[in-house]
Amino acid sequence: MTRDPRFDILFEPIRIGPLTARNRFYQVPHCNGMGRLYPSSMIAMRGQKAEGGWSVVCTEQCDIHPSADVASHCLVRLWDDQDLPILAGMADAVHAHAALAGIELVHNGGGMPNNFSREIPIAPSIDFGFGYHPIQARAMAKSEIAAFRRWHKDAVRRAKKAGFDVIYVYDGHDTTLQSHFLSRRHNRRTDEYGGSFEDRLRLLRETLEDAKEVAGDTCAIVIRFTVETNQGPDGDGRAVVEALADLPDLWDVNISDWN
């Protein structure tokens, strides 16, 4: 079969940081309803995508700590080493067809009711305004921000151990702690993590730098970023891209939030 030469570029390799994807077919993070509940189906589905030709195949959002418990067994998670086998199984299935395996690390901040972990949701400031649940989130102490950075670094370390090549820092869809810190609506802090644009951006910048440090020269660090969330088209989206332009190895950009 012949193909229109305009599409040839889609089949050419492309570099993502230290890695090379064999073509431009890239499956961004999305849930498939299987997750930890049906791990062998999840693994087989992602392996089948690699077999079908996608050069990068990602997980759905993968929560990294019980303080933001997505409370859904149909997603994946990486709280500790016990969560490694399912994710390693997916990375192996993707690698079996010469594709790169991607994982999207997430901490959903004050947006999770934590029905299973029973932890009080955490946010930049006291907040009632998240998502679909009647949640009251408490403000994080500075020591907890430092703890969050450690959880995130541990998750990057574990993702690497599970065999993932592409590791996401997720600031998308108005759902993650980093995006809540960036948001003028959710962040009313008066310390160096709130107020000015640079201060609201601090946590996102730090988690990207932390992830790059842990990833070293064997994994690519990708940011998933929502340009218009909270601030609208006149907000900080463009400024964020300009401020962090060269930090991630790839920008995966959405326009707005889940709604």
Ligand X SMILES: Cc1cc2nc3c(=O)[nH]c(=O)nc-3n(C[C@H](O)[C@H](O)[C@H](O)COP(=O)(O)O)c2cc1C
Residues lying near ligand X in the complex (CB under 6 A): 28-31, 60-61, 104, 172, 224, 254
Closer CB to ligand X, 193 or 240, in the complex: 240
Owner of token pair 């012949």: 2
Cα dihedral 40, 41, 43, 44 in deg (nearest 10): 110
Alpha helices in the chain (DSSP H): 39-52, 84-95, 142-162, 177-182, 197-215, 237-244
Closer CB to ligand X, 77 or 189, in the complex: 77
- 188-209 burial string, b = 16+ CB within 10 Å, else e? ebeeebbeeeebbbbbbebbbe
Supply the minimum distance, in Å, between the C-beta of residue 97 and ligand X: 21
Supply the minimum distance, in Å, between the C-beta of residue 21 and ligand X: 17
Supply the minimum distance, in Å, between the C-beta of residue 142 and ligand X: 28
Closer CB to ligand X, 28 or 147, in the complex: 28
d(CA 87, CA 93): 10
Handedness of CA 105, 195, 119, 179 (dihedral sign): negative
Please name the residues in contact with 167: beta carbons below 8 A apart, sequence gap of 6 or more.
102, 103, 105, 156, 159, 160, 211, 215, 219, 220, 221, 222
Closer CB to ligand X, 141 or 255, in the complex: 255
Closer CB to ligand X, 147 or 241, in the complex: 241
Supply the minimum distance, in Å, between the C-beta of residue 111 and ligand X: 13
Please name the residues in contact with 196: beta carbons below 8 A apart, sequence gap of 6 or more.
none
Give me the residues paired with residue 139 across strands: 123
Supply the minimum distance, in Å, between the C-beta of residue 170 and ligand X: 6
Supply the minimum distance, in Å, between the C-beta of residue 74 and ligand X: 10
| Nearest of 89, 258, 68, 86 to residue 178 by alpha carbon | 68
Supply the minimum distance, in Å, between the C-beta of residue 146 and ligand X: 26
Closer CB to ligand X, 189 or 208, in the complex: 208
Report CA-CA distances (Å) from 128 to 119, 131, 183, 243: 16, 9, 14, 30
Closer CB to ligand X, 17 or 29, in the complex: 29
